[in-house]
Amino acid sequence: MFSIRTLVLLTLSLSGAAFAGGAGMPPLGGAMPPMNGGAKLADTNPPAAQNVAYARTSPTQTLDVYLPAGNGPFPAVFAIHGGAFKFGDKTGWSAPVGQALLKAGYAVVAVNYRLSGEALFPAAAQDVKAAVRFMRANAARYRLDPQRFGAYGESAGGNLAALLGTTGNNASLLDAPNLGNAGVSSAVRAVADLYGPNDFAAIDPLLRAQGCQSSQINHDTAAGFESLYLGSALPRVPAQVKQANPITYVDTGDAAFLIQNGGKDCNVGGGQGQLLADALTTAGVPFEKTFFPNAGHGGSDFESSANVQRIVSFFNRYLN
């Protein structure tokens, strides 16, 4: 039986006419959230701290902290939700992954960030980096180990998590000292990037190569989700496209990566993970890659017990 959230997502994915006709709504296409049934980690594990403000520019800039049993200090994984940079909030990511991380002794920090309807790129990327800086500066207060931070993201959240992993040792416009804790590192040691867009310019070509429907190949248009995020049609702002792509910043000092994609992903293209893997290989950065040939943009393959354990084992290798 579908949850309300799943039905909404199916409507967004299947009803291009509804998208095009709705006031203020973008057409079909973009990095939509995963269809995980609407489960939320807070339903079974109430946060130890909720709606903590990590910056003061916007009411959106809040996070929730979930703590495992024990005294700490705990390694922490920052959970970054998907939603095409336009939808969602800090509750909208995989509850099974969150539960498994807590059981394995990890704190989980679920982050809200400014969506494209509120602020254009680089606001979202600056927000997640500010959240890491805030938690590192306040690690003792929340019983965290500031030397053992990782990130997990799905879809658009995968892009933002990957940016954390590739920009931690690079000063760039993605750093925003005005958001607080200037001089504190935003680096993480390990990133799980699940079906995130790692190269915006490659999305439509990948979808064409996969044989996706023409209605889904519209990311380069002004109404595409990534274009809305950048404030202009992607071909018109190549410099901003490059700045938003995690692969732009890859170098030898980056975090280790777990990259996961589905071969039938007609939202961002199943080949997005390979683009990041190729860049990491060239730089000599360790990574693991899982490719599900029959999976789409999210779904049961990513939340199976075997894959959840794969994700936890990855963080065990790099955060313990």
pLDDT in tens, 25-41: 333 344 444 444 567 99
pLDDT tens per residue, range 46-58 = 999 999 999 999 9
In the predicted model, what is the mean pLDDT of residues 244-257? 96
C-alpha–C-alpha distance, residues 19 and 28, integer Å: 6
The percent of the chain in helix, strand and coil, each rounded to the nearest 5, is 40, 15, 45
User: Average pLDDT over the chain, rounded to whole?
Assistant: 89
Positions of E strands within the chain = 49-53, 62-66, 74-80, 107-111, 144-154, 190-194, 256-262, 287-292
Burial environment of residue 16 by CB neighbours within 10 A (0 to 12, 13 to 18, 19 or more): middle
Contact between 107 and 65 (Cβ < 8 Å): yes
User: How high is the pLDDT of residue 114?
Assistant: 98
C-alpha–C-alpha distance, residues 187 and 174, integer Å: 12
Which tokens is 189 given? Answer: 């040691």
End-to-end CA separation in angstroms for the chain: 39
In sequence order, what are the beta bridge partners of 149? 76
For 153, phi and psi rounded to 5 degrees? -145, 145
Domains in the chain and their CATH numbers? 29-319 (3.40.50.1820)
In the predicted model, what is the mean pLDDT of residues 85-89? 97
User: How high is the pLDDT of residue 170?
Assistant: 79
> Could you tell me how many residues make up the chain?
320
pLDDT exceeds cutoff 90 at 85: yes
Angle 264-164-295 from CA coordinates, rounded to 5°: 10
Q: What percent of the chain has pLDDT over 70?
A: 88
Strands lying side by side in the sheet with 74-80: 49-53, 62-66, 107-111, 74-80, 144-154, 190-194, 256-262, 287-292
User: How high is the pLDDT of residue 38?
Assistant: 67
For 210, residues 6+ apart whose C-beta sits below 8 A from its C-beta are: 263, 264, 265, 266, 269, 270, 271
Contact between 16 and 27 (Cβ < 8 Å): yes
pTM above 0.85, yes or no: yes
Query: Which amino acid does the sequence have at 139?
Result: A
Contact between 181 and 130 (Cβ < 8 Å): yes
pLDDT exceeds cutoff 80 at 171: no
Rounded to the nearest angstrom, the gap between the alpha carbon of residue 10 and the centroid of all alpha carbons in its chain is 20
pLDDT band, residue 108 (cuts 50/70/90): very high
Best CA proximity match to 9, nearest among 99, 21, 31, 23: 31
User: How high is the pLDDT of residue 3?
Assistant: 36
**284 secondary structure, DSSP code:** T
